[in-house]
Amino acid sequence: MIMRLQVIAILAKHYFGKVSQHIGLLGLFLVGILLSTLPVGWDQHSSNVTFFGFPLELYGHSREESLSALLNEFFSWAWIIVALFYLSKLLKRLSESFSVNEMLWLRLIPCSPYEVAVARACWVIGSALALGTLGAIWVLTCSVFHQVGFDGLFVNVEGLVSHVLLSGGIVVALNLVIEIGESEQNSISVISLLTPMILTPIYLGINKLADTNYTLFFPYTIPFNRGLQNTIFHFGVTALIGTFLLCLHAVAKFRFSHVRVAIED
Partner 1 sequence: MDQPLLELKDIVFSYTPTTQRSEEKPLLNIEKLILHPGEKVGIIGDNGSGKSTIVRIILGLQIPAGKVSLFGKKVLWGNHYSQLGYIGDPSLCAGYTGLPTNISVKQVLNSFKTICGVEENAVDIEESLGFDKFLEKDIKYLSNGERKKLMIFLALAKCPKLLIADEATDGLDEKSKLFVIDKIEEISKKSRLGVLWISHQHDEVARLTDTVYQLIEGKLKSPTRKRFDCKVITSPDASVCGSYSNLSSKGWSEVMAKIYTSPIISNFEVKGKRMQGEDE
Residues that bind partner 1 (CB under 8 A): 6-7, 10-11, 13-14, 17, 93, 100-102, 104-113, 253, 255-263, 265
| Min dist. Cβ of residue 115 to partner 1 (A) | 9
| Min dist. Cβ of residue 116 to partner 1 (A) | 8
| Min dist. Cβ of residue 224 to partner 1 (A) | 32
Q: Which is nearer to partner 1, 113 or 196 (CB)?
A: 113
Q: Which is nearer to partner 1, 58 or 108 (CB)?
A: 108
Q: Are 152 and 68 in contact (CB under 8 A)?
A: yes
Q: Which is nearer to partner 1, 31 or 100 (CB)?
A: 100
Q: Which is nearer to partner 1, 58 or 261 (CB)?
A: 261
Distance CA 10, CA 89 (A): 21
Q: Which is nearer to partner 1, 73 or 96 (CB)?
A: 96
Cβ-in-10-Å burial (0-12, 13-18, 19+) of 205 comes to exposed
Distance CA 101, CA 179 (A): 15
Distance CA 222, CA 57 (A): 24
| Min dist. Cβ of residue 146 to partner 1 (A) | 40
Q: Which is nearer to partner 1, 58 or 104 (CB)?
A: 104
Distance CA 240, CA 220 (A): 11
Give the gyration radius of the chain's Cα atoms.
21
Quick one: three-class SS letters along 134-150?
Answer: HHHHHHHHHHHHHCCCC
| Min dist. Cβ of residue 129 to partner 1 (A) | 22
| Min dist. Cβ of residue 100 to partner 1 (A) | 7
CB atoms within 10 A of CB 158: 20
Distance CA 206, CA 70 (A): 29
Helix (H, G, I), strand (E, B), or coil: what is residue 37?
coil
